[in-house]
Copies of this chain bind each other. A is one copy, B any other.
Amino acid sequence: MKISTITVSAALALILTNQAIAGTPRTEPVQPIPAVEVTNPAMVELGKKLFFDPRLSKSGFISCNSCHNLSMGGTDNIKTSIGHNWQQGPINSPTVLNSSLNLAQFWDGRAANLKEQAGGPIANPGEMAFTHELAVDVLQSIPGYVNEFAVVFGNDALNIDMVTDAIAAFEETLVTPNGEFDQWLQGDDKALTAEALAGYQLFKQSGCVACHNGPNLGGTSYQKMGVIEPYTSASAEVGRAAVTGKDADRFLFKVPTLRNVELTYPYFHDGEAATLEEAVDIMGRLQLGRVYSEQEIGQIVAFLKSLTGEQPRFELPILPPSTNATPKPVPFG
């Protein structure tokens, strides 16, 4: 019995020691970003090419990566995007990073998933200004693509469903695990500075986490922009009401992710908050009725910067060339 007690104690001591070294995963209203598991690498590679291919636009100049630039946090870092013929977009481009973790896509959630989203900008006259039919015609004229679609889908008769399936498959790989905050969540006490940790405590205690929760710190609900005070904006966007037609849904927007928020400036659906400090201050006042001090804002911003994860690293894709049969882009006129 004695030996056995010693053994159990030793085992417990070992467990505790291991926990002290490796850390115990924390139970929090935010969860770490799971690493990506690629189940269909050929489809992901094809989707990557399509994501970078400006031939999916009327002009031959705009690709998915133009506004969801993977060198810049999956955004374009301008208030509202530039579309075909330099049209000014109505809304800030949300990051594509970790977007598979959102309950729906677009600020108003009008696309149920990434596949549905991917078809939107291609055919939007203010964005890529193409049509699904013309995009498929272009791809079908390029043997390099036809061969790749045949390998991936077992069918060389391309259609837009295959195109958006492949783009979505690539986008699902665009996750950013192992940020400092995720290391802390996984039990590494030293991963956060004292300032960032104080910021997280404040973020939780003052109610930010009511909306910015889950692994993506957002993307789990629609909420009104301007709860305590109305949000004044030159933007004509009404948010979720555009989808539901309900007056009660006016100015409800999908809560944006805070992952990589250091990289995805400027902020809000109209891009009018230039800095994180400004965004935190406005959110406190309008959503929580709370005026954060300069020190508190600094703490929350330090926490927000700990949400920058490992950016997706991959080779720039080389696109298969067009042929004499490929419809020509129409950049002007």
Contact = CB atoms under 8 A, between A and B. Distances in A.
A151 to B, nearest CB: 20
Contacts of A54: 69, 72, 76
A313 interface: yes
Interface string A100-130: 0000000000000000000000000000000
A52 interface: yes
B71 A318 contact: yes
Interface stretch (A37-45, A179-187, A224-232, A322-330): A322-330
Contact of A262 (B66, B319, B321): B321
Complex A-B, nearest 6 residue pairs according to Cβ-Cβ distance, in ascending order: A86-B86, A275-B324, A311-B318, A71-B319, A316-B316, A263-B321
Nearest to A276: B324
A50 to B, nearest CB: 11
Interface string A74-92: 0011110010011010000
A265 B78 contact: no
B318 A315 contact: no
Contacts of A328: 266, 274
Contact of A322 (B86, B265, B314, B317): B265
A78 B329 CA distance: 7
A88 B321 contact: no
B321 A73 contact: yes
A316 B70 contact: yes
